[in-house]
Every structure is written in C-alpha cells, then in structure tokens.
Amino acid sequence: MSDNKRKHERYAALNLSYICEDKDGDVLYEGMGRTMNVSEGGMLLETSCYITPGNHLTLEVALEDALINLRGRVVYCNEQQEKKFYTGLALVEPDVGNQAILDHFIKIFAQQG
C-alpha cells in the first residue's frame, strides 16, 4: 500500500519567482526558487530560505514560452542540505486561464514520465 496521501500525481520541475505575504496580505519578501514537483493541487518548492507555514506565496512560473501566476498557501517548510529548504505549497484561488495552462503542462510531463 502506498503512503502517498496526495489527490493528484506530481511531475518535475519549473523555475519560478515568488512574493511571500503574511496572513494579512502584507509583503514580507521576494525570492527565486524552483519546483521539485507539481500537481493540479500543489507544489514542492526548493527555496534558499525558510518560509513560515500559513504564509501565502504569489508565484510567477515560466512554462516554455508562457508565464503564469499562481497563488498558494505554505503547508510546511523543511531544511535540506546546503542551506536549501523544501516548501510544500497548496495552490489556492486558481485563475481559470492559468490553471488551464498548468494542467496542459502537467499532461505533457505525465507523457514524458
């Protein structure tokens, strides 16, 4: 039996920039990162700093020639080797157009895997 509790299959990797906001919507900082995997409902990000669970990230993700903006809530953040952090993000408030682009690329990733 699998220990995977996710609703959606995840696929590898995208580069991105993000803006971190607290629960009140105040901007805390901006950063760069990359996805370790992605699904319709969430992402695992690699970042260079700890991001407090409960904060929100606005992401600008490059998918080939398309740039899409996504928003997510930080579920967890764990320190890894060499001052890198793995941050679990649940996507929220999906824009229909951006979600459609993301869904298209998830299908491409699935075919490549």
End-to-end CA distance of the chain: give it in Å, rounded: 22
Give the three-state DSSP class for 53. coil
Q: 99 vs 3, 51, 52, CA distance in Å? A: 27, 24, 25
pLDDT at 13: 58
Domain extents in the chain:
15-107
Q: Render pLDDT for 53-109 as a digit per residue (tens, 0 to 9).
A: 999 999 887 776 777 888 999 999 999 988 899 999 998 877 777 778 778 777 766
Q: Does residue 2 carry a pLDDT above 60?
A: no
pLDDT at 9: 56
Architecture of domain 15-107: Beta Barrel (2.40)
Q: Render pLDDT for 3-20 as a digit per residue (tens, 0 to 9).
A: 656 666 555 556 789 999
Strands (E), the chain: 15-21, 27-38, 42-47, 56-63, 66-79, 85-92
Q: Does residue 41 carry a pLDDT above 70?
A: yes
Q: What is the mean pLDDT of residues 38-50?
A: 88
Confidence of residue 1 (pLDDT cuts 50, 70, 90): very low
